[in-house]
Structure 1
Amino acid sequence: TMDSLQAGYFVGLFKPKVAIPMHYDTFPAIKANPEDFERAVKKYSPSTRVVILNPGESYEF
């Protein structure tokens, strides 16, 4: 399990066009704010677009 900063760093290693945070707030042990992930991604991979989905939403690319 990674925190938001670690996940953002990981995204920075690969620099994808899009990153979508998953598995946050699904149970108490992994309570997280997806906006923290978005900030970390912008730090490590400024060109990556972060898409934050609500439960049940989908994204096509």
Structure 2
Amino acid sequence: MTDLPEETGDERADAALGGLAQLGTLPVSAHVGVFEEVFTGLEQALASVDDTPDRHR
């Protein structure tokens, strides 16, 4: 589909994005629920960034 990397390097983001793999097996009408779950997971991962040591320092 795209040339995007399969992993982001952040376990929490990768876990959230893993939910997108379901899209191929679900009817289009169920996609919104999957996108909402992925979005929530990404929001939680972003919110927890302050709780982890900065890997780039």
TM-based fold match above 0.5? no
Q: Which has the higher strand share?
A: 1
Q: Which has the higher helix share?
A: 2
Rg: which structure is higher? 2
